């Protein structure tokens, strides 16, 4: 049995790869609160001695991929960048895209448990784009083929983008749902 993220999305289950991507981006406590029970769990806890995935027939690998892009945007140009991402940096064919989130950092003052060594500067604001794709070929066909690390930064960028392409090695599927539609103004 293969892991099929598209089937999970149709069932509106939250792929664990989304959780991993959000953790990479420094997800807010609000998201964590929505994923975790507030007091007593309504579902019994899973036995820590449960059989490994191979013994239960669960898949040990997935074709799904997570891409994280760190953007350093010049101070004062944040809205220009967000408008660019929402309206011009589009994904023409979303059939292989599970979800994509343009994310900003939460405050360490508000959430003191944050210990991510994010790029910080008085000259720029850091954003993270987290994309979850059905497989590497889907990403390469829609986005990856256009990436040129030698291209100069755009006018609103303080520096070149940094990217990482992640292969999920283990995952959990939660009971929460992905948002049902695009954020307002995103094409």
Res 108: pLDDT:
86
Exposure b/e, 130-154, CB count within 10 A at least 16 = b: bbbbbebebbbebbbeeeeeeeeee
Q: Dihedrals φ, ψ of 174, to 5°?
A: -95, -175
Q: Which residue has the higher pLDDT, 175 or 18?
A: 175
Q: Dihedrals φ, ψ of 104, to 5°?
A: -110, 165
pTM confidence score: 0.68
Is 127 contained in some domain? yes
Q: Please tell me the total count of domains within the chain.
A: 1
Is 136 contained in some domain? yes
Task: Strands of 105-170 (E only): list them.
Answer: 124-133, 162-166
162-187: per-residue pLDDT in tens? 999 999 999 999 999 999 999 999 99
Is 46 contained in some domain? no
The CATH number of whichever domain residue 87 belongs to comes to 3.30.70.100
Is 85 contained in some domain? yes
Res 98: pLDDT:
96
Q: Is 84 helix (H, G, I), strand (E, B) or coil?
A: helix
Of the pLDDT bands very low, low, confident and very high (cuts 50, 70, 90), residue 58 is low
134-152: per-residue pLDDT in tens? 999 999 999 999 999 999 9
Count of helices and strands (H, E) across the chain: 6, 4
Is 42 contained in some domain? no
Sign, Cα dihedral of 104, 75, 80, 155: negative
106-130: per-residue pLDDT in tens? 988 999 998 887 767 889 999 999 9
Sign, Cα dihedral of 139, 141, 142, 146: positive
Average pLDDT over residues 17-34: 36
Is 51 contained in some domain? no
Which domain range does residue 136 map to?
1-36+57-106+119-187
Res 60: pLDDT:
66
Of the pLDDT bands very low, low, confident and very high (cuts 50, 70, 90), residue 61 is confident
pLDDT at 25 over 90: no
Is 49 contained in some domain? no
Is 114 contained in some domain? no
72-95: per-residue pLDDT in tens? 999 999 999 999 999 999 999 999
Quote the tokens at residue 135.
């497989």
CA distances to 22, 98, 146, 178 from 182, rounded to whole Å, are: 17, 12, 23, 10
CA distances to 118, 127, 129 from 161, rounded to whole Å, are: 13, 10, 10
């Amino acid at each position: 049995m293969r892991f099929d993220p598209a089937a999970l999305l149709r069932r509106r289950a939250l792929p664990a790869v989304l959780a991993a991507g959000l953790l990479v981006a420094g997800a807010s406590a609000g998201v964590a609160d929505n994923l975790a029970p507030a007091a007593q769990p309504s579902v019994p806890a899973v036995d820590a001695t449960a059989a490994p995935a191979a013994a239960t027939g669960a898949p040990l690998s997935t074709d799904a991929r997570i891409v994280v892009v760190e953007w350093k945007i010049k101070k004062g140009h944040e809205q220009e960048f967000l408008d660019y991402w929402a309206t011009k940096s589009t994904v023409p064919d979303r059939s292989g895209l599970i979800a994509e989130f343009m994310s900003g950092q939460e405050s360490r003052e508000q959430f003191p448990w944050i210990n991510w060594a994010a790029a910080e500067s008085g000259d720029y604001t850091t954003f993270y784009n987290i994309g979850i794709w059905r497989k590497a070929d889907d990403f390469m066909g829609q986005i990856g083929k256009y990436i040129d690390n030698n291209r100069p930064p755009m006018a609103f960028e303080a520096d070149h983008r940094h990217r990482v392409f992640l292969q999920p090695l283990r995952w959990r599927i939660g009971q929460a749902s992905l948002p049902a539609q695009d954020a307002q103004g995103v094409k």
